[in-house]
Structure 1
């Protein structure tokens, strides 16, 4: 699997404004919450995607990506690797630019599906760490 290099990731983060976070927890001790809080504090709009919560980080939560009406620059995924293909299929139904699976998450079938549809794919990288490295 071939992912964007550090410079390309920096460019993606610099031009992006809105991050939909699939699997964002409302529990402050969870990695998804901590990472999203850092990105929100850095100026990104966070859109929680989690059917089990109402709001996270002061933002209305959505049950699915398809419910989001605005443009999404990055879909940041905090779901198990085996669930990435289903998220990738839904990702293709919305107008989003970058599919980003967090550190420790990779799925070759999801990667292949997204690349066949000419999408930018980043897997097994922490968006917070990559953001910090670009500053």
Structure 2
């Protein structure tokens, strides 16, 4: 059942358990950027994370090869984690729909109800204004160290 913005803790736990591959849009090679730390955290949790950033395509972040856009990913993506501004999230959601992702996750401060509603209309789960590197430790007790 797709969710919008405020899934329950139980729904989040299930989401994290069923997610294996995450495309992280807006991935930065700069260690001080939140996307960099979250990418490292998710890798340390055992997820396959594919960094997406057109300006960094072909390079590596935390040992993962960066792709330019979601359509460059040749395997199924469970979650698209969006580190872009709220306005840009709509285009990312459109791309996520095209590649058949199951979930769009808009990071802290990324709020686009129309984009979330569109994802839900396409059978996806949508989460807004939250961070998996905060939610996973909160729900599982693992360390939040990135």
TM-score (norm 1): 0.95
Q: How many residues align?
A: 135
Which of 11, 21, 28 is the matching residue for 1:8?
11
CA RMSD between the two structures: 1.1
The runs of 5 or more residues in structure 2 that have no matched partner are 141-146
Q: CA deviation at 1:67?
A: 0.7
Could you say which structure has the higher strand fraction?
Answer: 1
Following the alignment from structure 1 to structure 2, what is the Cα–Cα distance between the partners of residues 132 and 92?
A: 28
The structural deviation recorded for 1:2 is 4.8
Structure 1: give runs of 5+ residues left out of the alignment.
Answer: none
User: Could you tell me which residue of structure 2 aligns to residue 21 of structure 1?
Assistant: 24
Match of 2:144 in 1: none
Does residue 1:68 correspond to 2:73, yes or no? yes
Q: Which residue does 1:79 correspond to in 2?
A: 84
Partner residue in 2 for 1:43: 46
Q: CA deviation at 1:23?
A: 0.1
Instruction: Provide the C-alpha distance between the structure 2 equivalents of 1:15 and 1:109, rounded to a whole number of angstroms.
Output: 25
For residues 16 and 119 of structure 1, what CA distance do their matches in structure 2 show?
13
Runs of 4+ in 1 over 4 A off after TM superposition: none
Matched, 1:58 2:90: no
